A and B are shown apart, each in its own frame.
Chain A
Amino acid sequence: MKLAYWMYAGPAHIGTLRIASSFKNVHAIMHAPLGDDYFNVMRSMLERERDFTPVTASVVDRNVLARGSQEKVVNNIVRKDGEENPDLIVLTPTCTSSILQEDLANFVDRAQMDAKGDVLLADVNHYRYNEFQAADRTLHQIVKFYLEKAQKKNQLSTEKTENPSVNIIGISTLGFHNQHDCRELKQLMKDLGIEVNEVIPDGASVHNLKNLPKAWFNLVPYRELGLATAQYLQESFNLPYVDITPMGVVETARCIRKIQQIINEQGANVNYEEYINEQTLYVSQAAWFSRSIDCQNLTGKKAVVFGDNTHAAALTKILAREMGIHVVLAGTYCKYDAEWFKEQVSEYCDEVLISDDNGAIGDAIARIEPSAIFGTQMERHVGKRLDIPCGVIAAPIHIQNFPIGYKPFCGYEGTNQIADLIYNSFTLGMEDHLLEIFGGHDTKEVITKGISADSDLNWNKEAQTELNKVPGFVRGKVKRNTEKFARERGFSEITLEVMYAAKEAVGA
């Protein structure tokens, strides 16, 4: 047993449902007790979905507990098949059905006899996988199912498209800014003269999956979702993939160069260098922005990054490599894929934190006292308590992170959006400077921050007055650092002298 207040990644069935409900005309039936269908609430509220979420529960109640589901699951599948005519029904196990150990595979076989659509059992174990792993597996499972089916029926066309083409794999419902990223990636492909063959799973029809091998290559923009599918397609159809996330100027260029290499190997003759150069220098504003004098104020400022693998790694690199910001700590909650993360970010930050315990990250932030945090909604709340600004860069997210305006993180427009996000998260440079000169406009009393060390020290009147002159957003930090200094040296009272000594010693 584990005492948990909060979690970064959801349970396995959420991942399966995200994949199923991303496809068009695919229905998921959860084998779950009453109330477990709050996925529908999340989708309906966060994504502001206009359509009913194609997820229903085959309710596990006392009767099921006593006698087993018997006909219930089968009937529910067949009923849904008749009502909505889905192409595919995905029977989704939950934590409850995991321990009931009913033979769901058998139910699926029986239902398949009466259902016109296809029926699949999602192959995910609740206690082994989290949301991301389950999503990755389910997508792979569905793709494999339909490709093998097409192969059996001899409907699989492995002939490549005439022009270079790509499958974009991993865009899904409830993914962080996925809709915007998808549009941006399509635009990028268009600019590169590459046809988009299929986008999966979002908005895709399972009937089109048999077209996947026609593409020249696959693009997997996110580390968490789609890699299993891409690897399967490479093994079975010799379809290469690019798994460099085009997030940030440098990484986007790297991704494009990799694409160039892959399609040239297949007989294309393209050179994207000029495009990259043009975009980097003149079209995207991010490179110029980081060179502009305003951005000088960000040099050496301390930041903490935390999120999923894709976004935390990308942001760390952007901050350190493209903007000259000092990333003290970069972390991920994707423990199952920690090695990859460490390898990606090690050279761009002082320390790496792999943890899914929000308390550990909160404490690290309190200890480091960065000028800005880039994290999830949880880090945003830690930031609020510590008076440190936070830009949200990864799930878990809430409704504000599903903007209706165009806000991609990928591609060249993504670099602009990220630059804005980073810049606006740090206190505006000139404002910072002016406040320092004029002693701030903030006359609030200092409050002691909860997460950090408690205050057992006395501030004399002069020191207190001086402290009040420090601008509000750094005052807490100055106070804590001074007290830390005083405690270490054994001062019981903080005077002006102690304060300045502290400033000289630790730069408080």
Chain B
Amino acid sequence: MTALQEPTSLQFDCESGNYHTFCPISCVAWLYQKIEDSFFLVIGTKTCGYFLQNAMGVMIFAEPRYAMAELEEGDISAQLKDYEELKRLCLQIKRDRNPSVIVWIGTCTTEIIKMDLEGLAPQLESEIGIPIVTARANGLDYAFTQGEDTVLAAMAHKCPKNVKVESEKEERNAIHKLLNFGRKKEDIKQEESEYKEHPPLVLFGSLPDPVVTNLTLELKKQGIKIDGWLPAKRYTELPVIDEGYYVSGVNPFLSRTATTLMRRRKCKLIGAPFPIGPDGTRAWIEKICSVFNIEPQGLEEREAKIWESLEDYIKLIRGKSVFFMGDNLLEISLARFLIRCGMTCPEIGIPYMDKRYQKAELDFLEKTCKEMGVPVPKIVEKPDNYNQIQRIYELKPDLVITGMAHANPLEARGINTKWSVEFTFAQIHGFTNARDILELATRPLRRNNNLKELGWEKLVKEEAKI
């Protein structure tokens, strides 16, 4: 495990893929909240349903706009006709909820029995009069957050083409407008004059609305106008995407969406580090500015100010080490930010590494390591959790960022852990939210600082070595 020499460029490794992560169908839990007029139908088995029910905890009780189309033995053996079955369920959904779009989530089972969801959707769509988006977010191919990627890639196809559609969209939206009458308009008023001349820019990646507002304002300060966001708050408000538009991703796990936008919608991708941490946010804005030939204003000061305000957190972690077991693809950006905060990072586990989509982020990580004078981390794709735990015992990192399956057992062995899924649900983008990342990352250290006088760090009996 010991490195022969201090590596200076990133090393990539690939292990067995025996690791713990969430199933990608979990994306419905945040996407149905983001896209307010959607309904997510997961076509799978009891196993999928039980996962959603347990992983999403209490959310299930708030009458969610998602449900299982639970496959039964007759569906598997093709005694029942897929089309008729789906039609029956979708009509029921239409009657009970009347959504503007139904998103079908294909699962492992639909893959194995080769249910042709993409083929059935257009036919059913025209029969019941509700758009159907098909995403194959299954555990055979993808991990956790990649589920969102498959949904957004499918939605990219549904984005309207040219401005003419705008009026039609308006019409479709009339009823919602009526319903929303009197509600405060949350979108920021965009006065054309405040913006510089640049080609249309569409951002992709699902973020909570406050973060959307925040990033929009951040770009507005540079005179950059965001023409749309994939996904928007409502399916009926999907942005226009035309040939030649510029697009930029806000999350590291959106490589399929990026590919789709480039290849199928003929967009130009701005490859930038992701706006996670003040360093990432600044680099992200600077890259967009440079593409549009805009001189960024006041970014350096803004970043410095944020760093200053983070000092109380940073002093808790400076000089400490962090180990990412890897399960949600945010790892590279988070590691880069934490290294900038003064941590060292021996290993970044990650489910899947798209070196092209994440190129700017990887370069930025390398640069950050050089500037901070720390060795570059080893990036382990498809990690093997068993091996990782042996390495953790050996390296004794100060903080392990890991899934819930390993968190309690590691804590019981005196190792500080942060549950990784929280980074997916917390607001971590932009300048303003840098604090939230550190709030999460330092929480175990702060808690254990409070308890350290008690002398009960190791709470398991020494295991017999065989």
Quick check: A3 and B408 within 8 Å, CB to CB? no
Q: Inside 8 A of B395's CB, which chain A residues have their CB?
A: none
13 pairs, A vs B, C-beta closer than 8 Å: A1-B69, A3-B69, A4-B70, A7-B50, A32-B139, A35-B24, A41-B20, A45-B404, A62-B141, A65-B111, A65-B112, A95-B45, A96-B112
A3: nearest chain-B partner, CB-CB: B89
Q: Inside 8 A of B18's CB, which chain A residues have their CB?
A: 56-57, 59, 76
Quick check: A35 and B22 within 8 Å, CB to CB? yes
Quick check: B23 and A38 within 8 Å, CB to CB? yes
Quick check: A44 and B141 within 8 Å, CB to CB? no
Q: How far is the CB of B137 from chain A (nearest CB, A)?
A: 10
Q: Answer yes or no: A251 CB below 8 A from chain B CBs.
A: no
Q: Answer yes or no: A11 CB below 8 A from chain B CBs.
A: yes
A398 to B25, CA, bound (A): 21
Quick check: B45 and A11 within 8 Å, CB to CB? yes
Residues A48 and B24 in contact in the complex (CB < 8 Å), given A2-B69, A36-B139, A126-B45: no
Q: Answer yes or no: B403 CB below 8 A from chain A CBs.
A: yes
Q: Inside 8 A of B142's CB, which chain A residues have their CB?
A: 34
B1-31 CB contacts (< 8 Å) to partner A: 17-25
Quick check: B408 and A48 within 8 Å, CB to CB? yes
Q: Inside 8 A of A40's CB, which chain B residues have their CB?
A: 20, 405
Nearest 3 Cβ contacts at the A-B interface: A35-B23, A33-B139, A40-B405
Q: Answer yes or no: A438 CB below 8 A from chain B CBs.
A: no
Quick check: A3 and B23 within 8 Å, CB to CB? no
Q: How far is the CB of A448 from chain B (nearest CB, A)?
A: 16
* Chain B interface (Cβ < 8 Å from any Cβ of A): 17-25, 43, 45-47, 49-51, 53-55, 57-58, 60-61, 64, 67-73, 75-76, 80, 85-86, 88-89, 92-93, 108-109, 111-113, 138-144, 386, 389, 403-409, 412, 459-460, 466
A52 to B460, CA, bound (A): 11
Q: Inside 8 A of B139's CB, which chain A residues have their CB?
A: 32-36
Q: Inside 8 A of B61's CB, which chain A residues have their CB?
A: 378, 381
Q: How far is the CB of A65 from chain B (nearest CB, A)?
A: 6
A398 to B56, CA, bound (A): 12
Q: How far is the CB of B84 from chain A (nearest CB, A)?
A: 9
Q: Answer yes or no: A479 CB below 8 A from chain B CBs.
A: no
Count the A-B residue pairs with Cβ separation under 8 angstroms: how many?
159
Q: Inside 8 A of B386's CB, which chain A residues have their CB?
A: 56, 83
Q: How far is the CB of B277 from chain A (nearest CB, A)?
A: 28
A1-42 CB contacts (< 8 Å) to partner B: 1-7, 10-11, 13-14, 32-38, 40-42
Q: How far is the CB of A8 from chain B (nearest CB, A)?
A: 10
Q: Inside 8 A of B406's CB, which chain A residues have their CB?
A: 44, 52
Residues A41 and B112 in contact in the complex (CB < 8 Å), given A11-B47, A33-B138, A36-B47: no
Q: How far is the CB of B27 from chain A (nearest CB, A)?
A: 12
A10 to B47, CA, bound (A): 7
A380: nearest chain-B partner, CB-CB: B61
Q: Inside 8 A of A42's CB, which chain B residues have their CB?
A: 54
Quick check: A35 and B21 within 8 Å, CB to CB? yes
Quick check: A95 and B109 within 8 Å, CB to CB? yes
Q: Answer yes or no: A67 CB below 8 A from chain B CBs.
A: no
Quick check: B404 and A34 within 8 Å, CB to CB? no
Q: Inside 8 A of B64's CB, which chain A residues have their CB?
A: 5
Q: Answer yes or no: A100 CB below 8 A from chain B CBs.
A: yes
Residues A7 and B46 in contact in the complex (CB < 8 Å), given A38-B22, A59-B17, A99-B113: yes
B389: nearest chain-A partner, CB-CB: A52
Q: How far is the CB of B81 from chain A (nearest CB, A)?
A: 10
Q: How far is the CB of B17 from chain A (nearest CB, A)?
A: 6
A14 to B54, CA, bound (A): 12
A53 to B403, CA, bound (A): 13
Residues A34 and B143 in contact in the complex (CB < 8 Å), given A1-B71, A3-B68, A11-B46: yes
A407 to B76, CA, bound (A): 43
Q: Inside 8 A of B144's CB, which chain A residues have their CB?
A: 35
Given A14-B50, A33-B108, 9 other A-B contacts at CB below 8 A? Answer: A1-B70, A2-B70, A3-B70, A4-B67, A40-B405, A44-B406, A76-B18, A126-B47, A130-B46
A14: nearest chain-B partner, CB-CB: B50
Q: Inside 8 A of B109's CB, which chain A residues have their CB?
A: 95-96, 99
Q: Answer yes or no: A85 CB below 8 A from chain B CBs.
A: yes
Quick check: B46 and A10 within 8 Å, CB to CB? yes
Q: Which of A34, A37, A48, A378 interacts with B17 by CB under 8 Å?
A: A34
A247 to B140, CA, bound (A): 45
Q: Answer yes or no: A339 CB below 8 A from chain B CBs.
A: no
A6 to B66, CA, bound (A): 10
Q: Answer yes or no: A191 CB below 8 A from chain B CBs.
A: no
A398: nearest chain-B partner, CB-CB: B57
Q: Answer yes or no: A49 CB below 8 A from chain B CBs.
A: yes
* Chain A interface (Cβ < 8 Å from any Cβ of B): 1-7, 10-11, 13-14, 32-38, 40-42, 44-45, 48-53, 56-57, 59-62, 65, 76, 83, 85, 94-96, 99-100, 126-128, 130, 378, 381, 396, 398
Q: Which of A3, A35, A38, A48 interacts with B54 by CB under 8 Å?
A: A38
Q: How far is the CB of A392 from chain B (nearest CB, A)?
A: 14
Quick check: B75 and A1 within 8 Å, CB to CB? yes
Residue of B64, B85, B404, B407 ringed by the most chain A CB atoms within 10 A: B404
A56: nearest chain-B partner, CB-CB: B18
Q: How far is the CB of A287 from chain B (nearest CB, A)?
A: 37
Q: How far is the CB of A102 from chain B (nearest CB, A)?
A: 11
Q: Inside 8 A of A61's CB, which chain B residues have their CB?
A: 17, 140-141
A33: nearest chain-B partner, CB-CB: B139
A13 to B51, CA, bound (A): 12
A82: nearest chain-B partner, CB-CB: B466
A72: nearest chain-B partner, CB-CB: B16
B412: nearest chain-A partner, CB-CB: A50
A100 to B140, CA, bound (A): 13
A40: nearest chain-B partner, CB-CB: B405
A36 to B44, CA, bound (A): 13
Residues A3 and B409 in contact in the complex (CB < 8 Å), given A11-B47, A95-B47, A127-B76: no
Q: Which of A36, A50, A85 interacts with B460 by CB under 8 Å?
A: A50
A507 to B98, CA, bound (A): 39
Q: How far is the CB of B343 from chain A (nearest CB, A)?
A: 26
Quick check: B92 and A99 within 8 Å, CB to CB? no
Q: Inside 8 A of B50's CB, which chain A residues have their CB?
A: 7, 10-11, 14
Quick check: A4 and B409 within 8 Å, CB to CB? no
Quick check: B17 and A1 within 8 Å, CB to CB? no
Q: How far is the CB of B75 from chain A (nearest CB, A)?
A: 6
Quick check: B408 and A44 within 8 Å, CB to CB? yes
Residues A7 and B112 in contact in the complex (CB < 8 Å), given A1-B86, A34-B23, A95-B45: no
Quick check: B22 and A51 within 8 Å, CB to CB? no
Q: Inside 8 A of B72's CB, which chain A residues have their CB?
A: 1-2, 127
Quick check: A95 and B404 within 8 Å, CB to CB? no
A2 to B73, CA, bound (A): 11
Q: How far is the CB of A302 from chain B (nearest CB, A)?
A: 24
A51: nearest chain-B partner, CB-CB: B409
Q: How far is the CB of B121 from chain A (nearest CB, A)?
A: 15
A324 to B67, CA, bound (A): 40
A5 to B97, CA, bound (A): 14
Q: Inside 8 A of A37's CB, which chain B residues have their CB?
A: 20, 405
Q: How far is the CB of B289 from chain A (nearest CB, A)?
A: 39
A381 to B47, CA, bound (A): 23
Residues A3 and B60 in contact in the complex (CB < 8 Å), given A37-B405, A52-B409, A99-B76: no
Quick check: A5 and B140 within 8 Å, CB to CB? no
Quick check: A53 and B85 within 8 Å, CB to CB? no
Quick check: A6 and B60 within 8 Å, CB to CB? yes
B86: nearest chain-A partner, CB-CB: A1
Q: How far is the CB of A361 from chain B (nearest CB, A)?
A: 14
A65 to B113, CA, bound (A): 11
Q: How far is the CB of A502 from chain B (nearest CB, A)?
A: 30
Q: Inside 8 A of A33's CB, which chain B residues have their CB?
A: 23, 108, 138-140
